[in-house]
Amino acid sequence: MDEEGDLWPDVADVVKHASADEVETEIRAQVQRALQMGFQPTHLDSHMGFLFASSAFIQRYIKVGMEFKIPLMFPGGHNTLIQTQMKSTAATMQMTREVGQMLWNAGLPVLDDLHNLSYGWTLPKGMEPTKENWRKFKTQKYIASLKTLKPGITMVIMHCTDPTGVFQYISDSGPAREGDLEAMMDPEFKQFLEKEGIIITTWRELKKRRDIVRR
């Protein structure tokens, strides 16, 4: 989904043509392939929001995650940011919180909110798209945005990339993605995180903490 909560064309195409059974088969195949290769997935996610575009897809996504006891990228808490971004209805909010409680009861960690705003951030009109301008712009946007967060576990989606010479043939988003990378390494941003007491964690750590709570 884009920053306005609308479906990307590719996502809409999948919703139109794929069945829930096919989606579940694909999710299982990817999880099993990872396990066969010796990897233990830290969490399940949905590229471009495919699995969140259909309630039937969401149900299968949750089903597989709970069966394999793998945490899910699913905001099931207060959802302050994502509610505003997605213009969620009261019914949707109730559903997400019910799912969040279900995941918690299954012994999995649960996100309180999801920050999915940065892909839509564009340089102000007239500002030259240099690496330095992107760094300054993204750094200030992240600082301002994170100041609005409520307490809890918030997943911040970003697209940190060090574009190579061929990246331009893959996507025109290279400069913006590089801006994410530069912002994350910016000393000002690091100082902000320390000052605000924001703790950076991982899905692996969240799962370990949830396992401790269950004992």
Contact 5, 120 (CB under 8 A): no
Average pLDDT on 185-194 reads 98
How far is Cα 196 from Cα 135, in angstroms, rounded to an integer?
A: 21
Residue type, 115: H
Higher pLDDT, 86 or 28: 28
H or E stretch at 175: helix 174-184
How far is Cα 119 from Cα 209, in angstroms, rounded to an integer?
A: 30
Take residue 158 and report the two structure tokens written for it.
């970003």
Confidence of residue 119 (pLDDT cuts 50, 70, 90): confident
User: Is residue 150's pLDDT more than 60?
Assistant: yes
Residue type, 23: V
Take residue 147 and report the two structure tokens written for it.
């100041």
User: Is residue 7's pLDDT more than 80?
Assistant: no
What pLDDT score does 97 carry?
94
Domain definitions of the chain by residue range: 1-70, 74-215
What mean pLDDT value characterizes the chain?
92
Which contacts of 203-210 are long-range, i.e. CB under 8 A and separated by 24 or more positions? 203/42, 203/43, 203/71, 203/109, 204/42, 206/71, 206/109, 206/153, 207/42, 207/43, 207/71, 207/108, 207/109, 209/109, 210/71, 210/107, 210/108, 210/109
- The pair phi, psi for residue 75, each rounded to 5°, is -75, 110
User: What percent of the chain lies above the pLDDT cut of 70?
Assistant: 95
- Give which of 27, 78, 30 is closest to 51, Cα–Cα: 27
- Give which of 83, 26, 76 is closest to 51, Cα–Cα: 26
What pLDDT score does 87 carry?
87
